[in-house]
């Protein structure tokens, strides 16, 4: 698909599961003549710096139209310099500028000090220019019920999806062919070149794991260290992966119901998870007829509770809103939860525009709506929580105005040791995806959070996971078992109701605010 260098440059030397900590090209910082860094620190991340980089819209035509990438950096401070560490929060469509500050401040100081931690807004995202927004206000409430129980509801949702795809094509016909994972990966290599580095270190969450795996496939000689957390199944991009999510998110919703039952003394919703689930669906049915606060209908309710499938730290807030509606007929907490977790602002409009542009271009999607209908009704019968919500979220791909690329086969035997993190109960990127990538990346090690339920697990408060991450970034050490799993960490305990929420959840809340949802 793309030519890559045939000669390995500065390949790492592997010795007993480790490799050289400081390759020659990273022993001292390189000048970056193409980048001008300026202070853009925040209260939380005062040392953050920002720059911009022009790259070709079409990398096969390097002297053609140029676009601009927004970059961020927390510079290294130690004498021992291990090169740039690029970070990505996923999406596609997630902004990585602030993530650089979070990663640099959350890693052990002695480890972070050895890297230039580099964040970036991928092409089309955030502060990169042009930033795509196909249809502002696309998610404004109240939307049609996601479950197409009548032909009229299905028609309304189909019209929305078609109108979004058409809006993207009308506004960005010249750009859409170049909004895809391969182009974003080529941008990453342009960032590497501008930084003056022969090789990069990379740390990606969620979709960022696919981005990293594709980079490693196209530029294996450019990879020094590679961390993939909450791993996308690259064999299912993207239609099959989305169907697989639906079962996993339903499981997470049932786990939330069981947690609410366990805390009946607080929420007064009962002790039988099945009966509590029935109350949730009764709430959904009532909101479909009369939206809370005039804006939380059935579709918006699903959007509000979906984040709980990504991160159980949100459960206490969602449970309070649920209990207030059922027990007291009070809609205010539900509206507040929607505003906090689900309402889509201008940044969200931009993120969704890139999400669809990348996913619809990356791989083939069924163009026959009959297949979508049949597949999603079949899944809905077993996993009703978010199946149709997810289907409509991706439905513009059935009508997308560009053709599709071939998915990248990320199988790779040319890499130094790679570190993978995965929770067994992750809904957004189910566990089997990490096992698949572990097999495909021949020199990878898989660290599993046993019983973990969240999406995005390292730097989220689990000291066992973070120890593996720190050791790898410090000197390249990875665990090796020779089996399907190389190391196991116990999951963090479930959250407590709000009155006694532990401080350990605060780091996780910060991280998941940066990762976002649907990623």
- 426 assigned to active site: yes
Q: How many whole angstroms separate alpha carbon 497 and alpha carbon 183?
A: 44
Residue 473's nearest CA partner among 229, 106, 228, 227 is 227
- 442 assigned to active site: no
Q: How many whole angstroms separate alpha carbon 473 and alpha carbon 171?
A: 43
CB 415 within 8 A of CB 441: yes
Task: Tell me which residue has tokens 């116990």.
Answer: 490
Non-local CB neighbours of 279 within 8 Å, separated by 6+ positions: 269, 270, 322, 326
Marked catalytic residue, from 145, 246, 303, 426:
426
CB 111 within 8 A of CB 466: no
CA 6 vs CA 48, 202, 218, 255: distances in Å: 36, 21, 11, 49
Marked catalytic residue, from 253, 263, 438, 455:
455
CB 413 within 8 A of CB 265: no
Tell me the residue length of the chain.
519
Residue 222's nearest CA partner among 248, 256, 186, 272 is 186
CB 83 within 8 A of CB 28: no
Q: Which helix (H) or strand (E) holds 310?
A: helix 307-310
Q: How many whole angstroms separate alpha carbon 495 and alpha carbon 434?
A: 25
Tokens (6 digits) for 161: 């999806």
Q: How many CB atoms lie within 10 A of CB 453?
A: 25
- 506 assigned to active site: no
204 three-state secondary structure: strand
Marked catalytic residue, from 105, 146, 190, 206:
206
Task: Tell me which residue has tokens 């505003």.
Answer: 339
Q: How many whole angstroms separate alpha carbon 338 and alpha carbon 329?
A: 16
Q: How many whole angstroms separate alpha carbon 206 and alpha carbon 308?
A: 16
User: What DSSP character marks residue 31?
Assistant: P
By annotation, the residues acting in catalysis are 206, 426, 455
């Amino acid at each position: 698909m793309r030519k890559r260098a045939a000669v390995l440059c500065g390949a790492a030397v592997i010795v007993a599961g480790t490799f050289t900590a400081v390759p020659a090209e990273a022993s001292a910082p390189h000048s970056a003549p193409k980048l001008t860094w300026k202070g853009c620190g925040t209260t939380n991340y005062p040392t953050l710096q920002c720059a911009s980089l022009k790259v070709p819209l079409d990398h096969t035509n390097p002297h053609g139209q140029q676009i601009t990438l927004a970059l961020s950096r927390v510079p290294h401070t130690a004498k021992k310099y291990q090169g740039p560490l690029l970070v990505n929060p996923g999406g596609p469509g997630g902004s990585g500028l602030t993530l650089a500050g979070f990663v640099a401040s959350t890693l052990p100081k002695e480890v972070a000090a050895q890297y230039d931690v580099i964040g970036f807004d991928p092409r089309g995202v955030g502060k990169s220019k042009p930033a795509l927004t196909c249809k502002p206000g696309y998610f404004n409430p109240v939307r049609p019920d996601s479950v197409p129980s009548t032909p009229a509801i299905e028609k309304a949702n189909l019209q929305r999806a078609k109108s979004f795809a058409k809006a993207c094509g009308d506004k960005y016909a010249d750009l859409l062919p170049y909004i895809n994972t391969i182009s974003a990966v080529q941008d990453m290599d342009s960032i590497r070149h501008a930084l003056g580095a022969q090789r990069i270190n990379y740390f990606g969450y969620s979709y960022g794991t696919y981005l990293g795996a594709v980079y490693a496939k196209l530029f294996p000689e450019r990879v020094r260290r590679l961390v993939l957390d909450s791993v996308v199944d690259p064999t299912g991009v993207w239609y099959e992966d989305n169907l697989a999510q639906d079962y996993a998110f339903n499981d997470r919703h049932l786990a939330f119901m069981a947690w609410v039952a366990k805390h009946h003394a607080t929420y007064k919703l009962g002790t039988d998870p099945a009966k509590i689930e029935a109350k949730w669906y009764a709430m959904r049915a009532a909101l479909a007829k009369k939206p809370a606060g005039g804006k939380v209908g059935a579709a918006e309710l699903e959007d509000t509770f979906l984040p709980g499938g990504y991160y159980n730290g949100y459960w206490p807030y969602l449970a309070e809103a649920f209990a207030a509606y059922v027990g007291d007929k009070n809609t205010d907490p539900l509206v507040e939860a929607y505003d906090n977790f689900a309402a889509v602002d201008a940044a969200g409009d931009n993120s969704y525009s890139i999400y669809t542009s990348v996913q619809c271009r990356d791989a083939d999607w069924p163009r026959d709506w009959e297949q979508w209908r049949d597949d999603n009704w079949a899944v809905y019968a077993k996993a009703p929580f978010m199946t149709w919500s997810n289907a409509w979220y991706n439905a513009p791909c059935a009508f997308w105005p560009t053709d599709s690329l071939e998915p990248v086969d990320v199988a790779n035997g040319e890499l130094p040791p790679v570190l993978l993190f995965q929770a067994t109960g992750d809904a957004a990127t189910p566990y089997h995806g990490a096992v698949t990538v572990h097999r495909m990346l021949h020199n990878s090690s898989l660290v599993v959070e046993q019983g973990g339920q969240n999406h995005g697990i390292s730097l989220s408060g689990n000291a066992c996971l973070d120890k593996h991450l720190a050791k790898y970034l410090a000197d390249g050490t990875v665990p090796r078992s020779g089996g399907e799993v190389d190391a196991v960490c116990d999951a963090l305990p479930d959250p407590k109701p709000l009155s006694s929420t532990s401080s350990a959840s605060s780091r996780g809340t910060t991280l998941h605010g940066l990762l976002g949802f649907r990623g």
